[in-house]
Structure 1
């Protein structure tokens, strides 16, 4: 049974909204430079074109269906005394051909979407494996086994969808049923794999944080973790909804498909969840750097007022009591409590105030306690220096502490410089040439 024209119109509007959002987001991402091929970012350009092609094909599919359904519209059957959507057997040959072409667009769009989900899932597997490999991954993403597996699975899924839509070429309802069965089964498998990733990702995030990842990378990973949970829910929703419709279409009774309410409801749930997950994928796979976007452009006036330190006026003469207050209304006791809360030692305190708590002189502080923090404190005689000298070839370094620090493995560059599953090329280091010096000690017996 064809979907109602109103429900298909809503689906077409949602698809067009997703396409407009893709165009808008890529423009604000890097002014559409992500769609241009270059030697370093050719893979990102390929994946962006696949994602854009997927959304465009799905949008074309929905609008062709809208045109056909509104052209044929409803008919009244006297036998059952009901008004139903005109079945495809009563359509003109032109509209039947257009409907068949729309299913081919659906096949292409769904195949591209499966390739996007496969690449993302396998790339996360590549990253998770990289932090478990001593010394980092042995090869880049484009030369790894995960990339080769992605190519094989993408081609296989596309071939399965093309084969499914050609099982039946005359019965338009069965063409759609076979296509939806194969596509929804593959989407359900990928959605279940994404659920597994949701459980694995928190431990991966803790490992990356423990190994010293930067705040920018941790922020991106945390953002992906939250967005992936919402997106996984949407992917499960649209996969299950389309799977129910397609499996019911293979039965003889076709109970759900012959009920207009449940047929339209499940189809709309599937379409809405599909494009919600796709829009979230756009945000995750092409993350915008809001920090750099907030900076003024180079052509604008970037004159900033210098920051001047605040010089507190000298306090009035104090009496040796804890309740005496200065001109600002603060007592000596309050200043002493502030120093205690800030963990300010006696070397960072200037003279001028007596100690309101003389009983605390037993903390290793001789003489009167100093309360006011100095603007130019004297050099501290105590230091928290760990004993590791700055000289690289010193013989008095604390080797035990250095050994403890070396127990943590270095974070692989593919993780420390992570941007998104589309950004697989490692940025080249800029700046002066770095020279590393090593020494060897030869002991002659």
Structure 2
């Protein structure tokens, strides 16, 4: 800590602040911060809350640690020592206020690292559950993988702060053992991820052979690629800090006394930590750009229809009736929103500029219906979905395809867990009614 240069902590501060900015942008684009609410949806159980808030809390703690030490290091600057030359000012020569901030800032880093291990352990256990569970085993919350995550998370949250607290008398020893304890835990989890990365291509091949839909295979392939990059970045984060921790715990330091290797390993660890955390954010809160564009276009269309003051007159010449409305009904708006994205049908035919749409015969009406619902383009799995109540919300029904989870039930036999077909993120399992912290016996 006192032997590293101010520029090393400046790199940590810049990258952590960039990660914080990306966090704010991504959560706003994801659902405009709705995921931060305590009751986010009907199935926001304790598991989902713990996973969400533990990860989101780790990033501000890392920012506090890196920015705080960057300010202190530049404030204290450098000093000339005999036989050493110009070196960063040792902590023994720091101002009292700077000395008093060492332990709180180190504790922030320790807590952030412990919460990160909770996140990584959950992902490890959840992927092991998905890959190894058979088709009939569907309950993640009653599996021994879930119990392993609970025990491991409690151990991580307890032992990391305790190591920092018990070694706080000497800041150099405190930093060395904090790096050593954290890097050993994170490196162990990272190594355990290697069998998953190794066997996942064969797992995807098994899904294809059993007739899984392309959307599921594409989604899982994307997660596999992100996990591969993130595991490599976690090696970049843990191995340099492990080297610094082991060297700092020895009686004679060789690496920590070398300015080049100290700064080099610190820079590499910062890059690995921030990239890994950013990929974790993308995996936990995966965005669907297609759905976002469709929702945005539908919202703009509804606003355009509301802003039109002129009435739309629809006259049926064959029926001898005339109807005038000042605004399209809500059912019509929902009908258009669900179809405009998938078909060539447009509200242009009912635009208020024309003020009139004439139907000369029932054949024209049937032709329009065929254009709106081309039966040849409907998938074989199309079905009529009724309106369903989801907590306080109502899910509108309609005509569409079966969900991926229901499609998997039509398979004759599946050797994989059905949760694979509806997998969206490691915390998507909390959308189950079994979202409780401790599984029932």
Fold conserved between structures, TM > 0.5:
yes
- Choose 268-277 or 295-304, whichever is displaced more: 295-304
Residue 9 of structure 2 corresponds to 8
Corresponding residue pairs, total: 326
| Equivalent in 63, 70, 74 of residue 66 of structure 1 | 70
Give distance in 2, aligned partners of 1:167 and 1:419.
Answer: 41
- Choose 144-153 or 179-188, whichever is displaced more: 144-153
Map 1:263-282 → 2, pairs under 5 A: 263-282=262-281
Map 1:79-98 → 2, pairs under 5 A: 79-80=82-83, 82-98=85-101
Residue 35 of structure 1 corresponds to 36
Residue 18 of structure 1 corresponds to 19
Map 1:157-306 → 2, pairs under 5 A: 157-295=156-294, 296-301=296-301, 306=345
Change beyond 3 A, Cα 1:87–1:205: same
Give distance in 2, aligned partners of 1:185 and 1:410.
Answer: 35
Give distance in 2, aligned partners of 1:280 and 1:128.
Answer: 21
Cα shift at 1:71 = 1.6
Residue 434 of structure 1 corresponds to none
Gaps of 5+ in 1: 308-404, 429-445
Per-residue CA deviations over 1:318-349 (Å, capped at 9, x if unaligned) read: xxxxxxxxxxxxxxxxxxxxxxxxxxxxxxxx
Change beyond 3 A, Cα 1:81–1:411: closer
Cα shift at 1:426 = 4.4
Within the alignment, does 1:129 sit opposite 2:128 as a pair? no
Change beyond 3 A, Cα 1:202–1:410: closer
Change beyond 3 A, Cα 1:196–1:162: same
Map 1:253-402 → 2, pairs under 5 A: 253-295=252-294, 296-301=296-301, 306=345
Matched residue SS, 1:424: helix
Give distance in 2, aligned partners of 1:412 and 1:193.
Answer: 21
Between structures 1 and 2, the one with greater helix share? 2
Query: Alignment RMSD, CA only?
Result: 2.1
Matched residue SS, 1:83: strand
- Tell me the TM-score normalized by structure 1: 0.69
- Tell me the TM-score normalized by structure 2: 0.70
Within the alignment, does 1:423 sit opposite 2:433 as a pair? no
Cα shift at 1:178 = 0.6
Give distance in 2, aligned partners of 1:161 and 1:26.
Answer: 29
- Choose 249-258 or 289-298, whichever is displaced more: 289-298
Bigger relative contact order, structure 1 or 2 (CA pairs below 8 A, ≥6 apart):
2
Give distance in 2, aligned partners of 1:148 and 1:294.
Answer: 40
Between structures 1 and 2, the one with greater strand share? 2
Map 1:78-117 → 2, pairs under 5 A: 79-80=82-83, 82-117=85-120
Change beyond 3 A, Cα 1:14–1:406: closer
Matched residue SS, 1:253: coil
